[in-house]
Chains A and B, each alone.
Chain A
Amino acid sequence: QKEVEQDPGPLSVPEGAIVSLNCTYSNSAFQYFMWYRQYSRKGPELLMYTYSSGNKEDGRFTAQVDKSSKYISLFIRDSQPSDSATYLCAKAKLNSGGSNYKLTFGKGTLLTVNP
């Protein structure tokens, strides 16, 4: 089982819709959770970052982590055509000494917001 599983999509919604993107993870040792956005032919860029259970809001974006069910979500309110991109969930794992770390990514969900 891959450590991070992500709904593959693609997902197509009308402008103004609420979008829900979801991931599950299998290893409780992972502590930090992120959502990256990747536009076509570009590198990923950090969108949201959280390290605890609960919700974190940033404008139209809300990241939600449920550690008891190992579920992470990203909600986009009032979606815009400019939100059309691939969204990647990721989690970070530190080594035992905290001196090095690596990210494990989901496969990404392609979102298209239609005007």
Chain B
Amino acid sequence: DAGITQSPRYKITETGRQVTLMCHQTWSHSYMFWYRQDLGHGLRLIYYSAAADITDKGEVPDGYVVSRSKTENFPLTLESATRSQTSVYFCASSETAFQRRTDTQYFGPGTRLTVL
């Protein structure tokens, strides 16, 4: 059972380049999320999705684009990377919207992105 995976795990790119971070989950969870984690800011929500073709902006969406054509995939694209987007990016998924007390978000291992 692979769970939730992210690729690449590490990425170095240059300012102005387009970068896509991949997220894949094998549970067929409806909900998926993208966060960035930075020192001094903690985890901040970038985008979230309740189902295929349904996405919403989170706290820090500027400069990012998401799509969700298939339930299991939720790629995050940096259209024109900037140094301020250097961060650790986490993808997460959950089965329902806390409709059961056991619901939780499961996190991937993260992608460390450096923008030079």
A interface residue numbers (CB < 8 A to B): 6, 31-32, 34, 41-46, 49, 51, 88, 92, 94, 98-108
Contacts and interface: CB of A to CB of B under 8 A. Distances in A.
A88 B31 contact: no
Given A43-B108, A43-B109, A102 B33 contact: yes
B40 A101 contact: no
Nearest to A93: B98
Interface string B84-106: 00000010100001110110110
A46 B104 contact: yes
B31 A44 contact: no
How many B residues touch the partner, as a band? 20 to 34
Contacts of A43: 90, 92, 107-110
B43 A100 contact: no
A45 B107 contact: yes
Nearest to B42: A107
Contacts of A45: 107
A101 B42 contact: no
Contact of A88 (B43, B92, B97): B43
Contacts of A42: 109-110
B38 to A, nearest CB: 10
A100 B35 CA distance: 16
A45 B104 CA distance: 9
Contact of A98 (B90, B97, B104): B97
A2 to B, nearest CB: 9
A94 B96 CA distance: 11
A44 B43 contact: yes
Contacts of B33: 102-103
Given A43-B110, A106-B42, 19 more contacts: A6-B42, A31-B98, A41-B110, A43-B90, A43-B108, A44-B107, A46-B105, A49-B101, A49-B102, A51-B101, A88-B43, A98-B97, A98-B99, A99-B50, A102-B45, A102-B48, A102-B58, A103-B45, A107-B41
